[in-house]
Amino acid sequence: MMKSSALSRRTLLKTASALPLTLAAPAVLRAGGEPLKVGVYGGYFQDSFDSFVYPEFTKATGIEIESIAVPTGEAWLIQLQQAARAKRAPADVSMMATVSIMRGMRTGLWAPLDETAMPNVSNILPTLINRYDDDGLAAVGAVSWYVTVATNTDVFPQPIESWAELWEPKYEDSLGLLALVSNSYLLEITAKTFFGGTDYLSSDETIREVLAKVAELKPNTRLWYRDEAQFEQALKSGEIPIGQYYHDVTGLAAADGFPVRSNFPKEGGLRESGNWGVARVSDKIDQAQVFIDYMSQPSVQAMLARNLGTAPNVARESMDLTDEEFAAVSSDIEPVIPRYDLHFERTDWLNQIWAEMLQA
Amino acid sequence: MIQSRPRTPLGYLPILLPAFALIAFYIVPFGSMVGMSFFHNLGGGAYEEVFTLENYARLVSPFFLSVLGTSFEVAFLVALFAIVIGFPFTYLLVNARRGTQVFWLIVMLSVLSLSEAIIGFAWSTLLSRTAGIGVLFEALGLTEKAQSYAPSLGAVLAGVTYIAMPYAVLLLYPILSRIEPDIEQASRTLGASPLRAFFNVIVPMHRTPIVVSFVMIFVFTLGSYLLPQILGRPTNWTLSVVISDQALLQSNMPFAAALSIFLMTVTILLVLLVTLINRKGAKA
């Protein structure tokens, strides 16, 4: 959800300067039919999709795309739900955070999709597929990204090998961590690191036990950030030399010459995803399925990894990414996956115990 | 001033527009917020329009009371600093040359044009170990090693006071500029030093404007949510930070509405109390 602002700015400038301007030409209405409306996060994501994805898609399928900027957070879900009541679809296909997909599923916002019409969806990792209770396909993984331990190498030259190192007293008052239970996913990271896995978060007692372990990070944490720019700037300058941050953005900063490194801990980086959902009220479900099928091809996933810096949602062997290209966006280490089910079902309770832990 | 009631209904016409604006842009949105605070949250920005007290039940807890305490602590200290710095500053300003006055008023007004985000980032850089006064203090030998002064309560107070200062000056300027110069001269003739004249004559004379300005800055500061996030640690996050988290990040509108009404009610009670005490003090 926070991804678009994380990636915008410099990353955008970097990619934008590299593209031929002709690719950025707006989609032209095809005679006789309206274009398929596709919504992705405004800013970096939308600009990249406008440049790299939509023109190629139209060339391959003949389906025109109207690009829609989608706000981050849950605002777009609210707008889609209100529009659905009026039988309107402000976008036919939308990229949504997993918890938002689940909320939409509860109200039946997403059209059940036909898997036989989308053979390439079988490439997508099974954890990135959301189904209705009656087995109908509700959403398909679009893109993923990693959060790892970012360090300033001037201050801490040695690589970080485990999330557990964040708890070491030598990092007193040095960490930058995301401020919310629903974007730091520190419960999951801590459960995987110290309690054998995220399955440990199974009851109120065990969640509180893991939370108490997270609370031990407080003396080490200088900044609990909501705004990525604030931490990124502090990380680059060494003001806050270590913390959790986006793998790809850290890599780009390192490539720009800043003394920073993204460290993949042995417990795995935190992997988050955006998903494609199709509005049930859309009258272009067939075209939407063509789009999702196209996006699920290994070659397109590899292209996204190269041009957008997103982690591919398909098996590594199925793509032609070099080791270097793969390492820039992903890792073979089993990732930490957020317990989206928990965040969906216990939103208010998790938020409350987290705030009490942090602000006490 | 001559005041008389309009003789015909038509005479009320001029106040219809402001009355309509007040209802449309203030009372209706506020009423919908009050209504919202009694709805049941479904998550993801959805809510059920049924009457429930659960949002108010949730906020009556030691946790939210302590966050409210943080809000009042920050607002009280900021209002105090803004008046303690702003009052003498404004007093000197009204007695300064015209050109000096215009210069400082422009400086104060231009602070108001800055976005809070910019001010927050500027202060966090200024108070940093790597690029701010930490480096300066080390160079001057005041500290052994460069230190960082943000995030901290001090940083929040510095940032919010910086924003509140222009309001303090703009509130006090018109009042202080009406002081007769004779008053200070008279107290000086009677043997008071300039400082004594200021503290024993000028300040007590302006007791009510000082209290009113203090209360206005206090209330204004209670709404500050961005600077405590950027410049503060979690223990310095105010109730407004929690409200913005609930509304913008958790999409729990009913609870955000209940928290807002809670903050507003307590604030109104506090303002009434201060006004009452001030009135009694003025009579005594």
- Torsion, Cα B29 B32 B37 B41, to 10 degrees, reads -110
Task: Indicate whether B75 pLDDT > 60.
Answer: yes
**Beta carbons within 10 angstroms of residue B76's beta carbon:** 16
Task: Indicate whether B5 pLDDT > 80.
Answer: no
Positive/negative CA dihedral, B189, B191, B195, B201:
negative
- The 3-state DSSP class for residue B189 equals helix
Contact B128/A239, CB-based, under 8 Å?
yes
**Beta carbons within 10 angstroms of residue A239's beta carbon:** 25
Q: Report the alpha-carbon angle A132-A133-A139, nearest 5.
A: 15
Predicted confidence at residue B231, as pLDDT, reads 95
**Residue A151 backbone dihedrals phi, psi, to 5 degrees:** -130, 155
- The 3-state DSSP class for residue A159 equals coil
CATH number for the domain including A232?
Answer: 3.40.190.10
- A78 shares a domain with A35: yes
Asked, for residue B6, whether it belongs to a domain, the answer is: no
Task: Indicate whether B284 pLDDT > 50.
Answer: yes
- A131 shares a domain with A27: yes
Closest chain A residue by Cα to residue B55: A348
Mean pLDDT of B267-276: 90
Predicted confidence at residue A36, as pLDDT, reads 96
- A256 shares a domain with A152: yes
**Residue indicated by tokens 């105090």:** B80
**Residue indicated by tokens 């108070």:** B127
Element (H, E) at A112: none
Residue B131 to residue B151: CA distance in whole angstroms: 14
DSSP state, residue A219: G
- The DSSP annotation for A274-331 comes to EEEEEBTT-S-HHHHHHHHHHHTSHHHHHHHHHHT-PBPSB-GGGS---HHHHHHH--
- A226 shares a domain with A110: no
Task: Indicate whether B44 pLDDT > 50.
Answer: yes
Say whether the ipTM exceeds 0.90: no
Predicted confidence at residue A179, as pLDDT, reads 94
Predicted confidence at residue A360, as pLDDT, reads 83
More confident residue, B180 or B70: B70
- Torsion, Cα A34 A38 A42 A45, to 10 degrees, reads -130
Cβ neighbours of A103 in B, within 8 Å: 43-44, 46
3-state DSSP percent of chain B in helix, strand and coil, to 5? 75, 0, 25
Mean pLDDT by 10 residues, chain A (360 residues): 41 40 39 81 89 95 95 85 91 94 92 95 94 91 96 96 97 95 96 97 97 98 91 94 94 93 96 96 95 96 93 94 93 95 93 93
Contacts for B241 with CB less than 8 Å, ≥ 6 apart? B225, B228, B229
Residue A206 to residue A199: CA distance in whole angstroms: 10
Residue from the list B66, B131, B245 with its beta carbon closest to the beta carbon of A237: B131
- A227 shares a domain with A140: no
Task: Indicate whether B111 pLDDT > 50.
Answer: yes
Q: Which two tokens stand for residue B172?
A: 């006090």
Residue A46: give the domain boundaries.
Answer: 3-144+271-329
Number of domains in chain A: 2
- A348 shares a domain with A199: yes
- A252 shares a domain with A153: yes
Looking at the complex, does the CB of residue B48 fall below 8 Å from at least one CB of chain A? no
CA A262 to chain centre: 17
Look at strands A65-70 and A137-152 and give their pairing.
Answer: unpaired
* A139, A96 contact by CB (below 8 A): yes
* B95, B202 contact by CB (below 8 A): no
* Weakest mean pLDDT among A250-264, A327-341, B20-34, B41-55: B41-55
Cβ neighbours of A348 in B, within 8 Å: 41, 43, 250, 252, 255
* B281, B207 contact by CB (below 8 A): yes
| Closest CA–CA distance from residue B235 to any residue of chain A (Å) | 5
Predicted confidence at residue B230, as pLDDT, reads 93
* B167, B223 contact by CB (below 8 A): no
Predicted confidence at residue B184, as pLDDT, reads 80
Asked, for residue B44, whether it belongs to a domain, the answer is: no
Contact B128/A237, CB-based, under 8 Å?
yes
CATH number for the domain including B183?
Answer: 1.10.3720.10
* A266, A162 contact by CB (below 8 A): yes
Number of domains in chain B: 1
Element (H, E) at B52: none
Using a CB–CB cut-off of 8 Å, the residues of A that contact B are: 73-75, 77-78, 81, 99-100, 103-104, 107, 179-180, 182-183, 222-224, 226-227, 230, 233-234, 237-239, 344, 347-348, 351-352, 355-356, 358-360
| Closest CA–CA distance from residue B123 to any residue of chain A (Å) | 12
- A304 shares a domain with A218: no
